Amino acid sequence: MWLLSSAVAPGSSSLRFPKAEMEGNSSNILITRFAPPVIAAILALSPLAPVSPVSAAAMSGAEIQRGATLFRRSCIGCHDGGGNIIKSGASLFTNDLQRNGVETEDAIYQITYFGKGRMPGFGETCSPRGQCTFGPRLKDEEIKMLAEFVKAQADQGWANNIPLTDDD
């Protein structure tokens, strides 16, 4: 990531190569010239890479898998594939999230923790009791990971299928 960020000018999508880097030996020039686009291509083509560079940096492969496991256990019953079988217009796709004022991981976290409307809250201290799940509650860290996962999936248009079980 350092090579990519050091070769891209802030606020620009074009690569810059300082004169000092260009005067080095030929292998340094090749690395400086070709590493950033190769790294960018690898990240862009990765099936699990979130569109947002912040989300990509924030979640490791293990965290993505853990987020998927939490989603499968707690959310997939109503939100399979990012949809919503209970309420139309309240899916986990970016356009519905934005329309409903849920544009950040924190907003997703708040709704997941405390619930909203017909969606139960999953937080350990969720209240009132009637707004909360009757199933197992999630720890604060788990809800944060779940919110990151949902945001990353929404940014990708839910392009990655989540298996129904760990065996799939």
Q: Residue 159: its pLDDT value, please?
A: 84
Instruction: State the burial class of residue 136 (Cβ atoms within 10 Å of its Cβ: 0-12, 13-18, 19+).
Output: exposed
Dump pLDDT digits (tens) for 5-61.
444 455 545 544 444 444 555 665 655 565 555 555 455 454 444 434 344 445 677
Q: Residue 1: its pLDDT value, please?
A: 41
Distance CA 91, CA 85 (A): 8
- The closest of 157, 161, 156, 164 to 52, measured between CA atoms, is 156
pLDDT bin (cut points 50, 70, 90) of residue 120 is: very high
Distance CA 114, CA 126 (A): 5
Domains of the chain: 2-45 (no CATH), 53-155 (1.10.760.10)
Distance CA 75, CA 146 (A): 10
Q: Residue 3: its pLDDT value, please?
A: 42
Q: What are phi and psi of 138, to 5 degrees?
A: -105, 145
Q: Residue 133: its pLDDT value, please?
A: 94
Q: What are phi and psi of 22, to 5 degrees?
A: -75, -20
Higher model confidence: residue 106 or residue 64?
106
Dump pLDDT digits (tens) for 67-116.
999 999 999 999 999 999 999 999 999 999 999 999 999 999 999 999 99
Q: Residue 20: its pLDDT value, please?
A: 45
Predicted TM-score (pTM) of this structure = 0.61
pLDDT at 4 exceeding the cut of 80: no
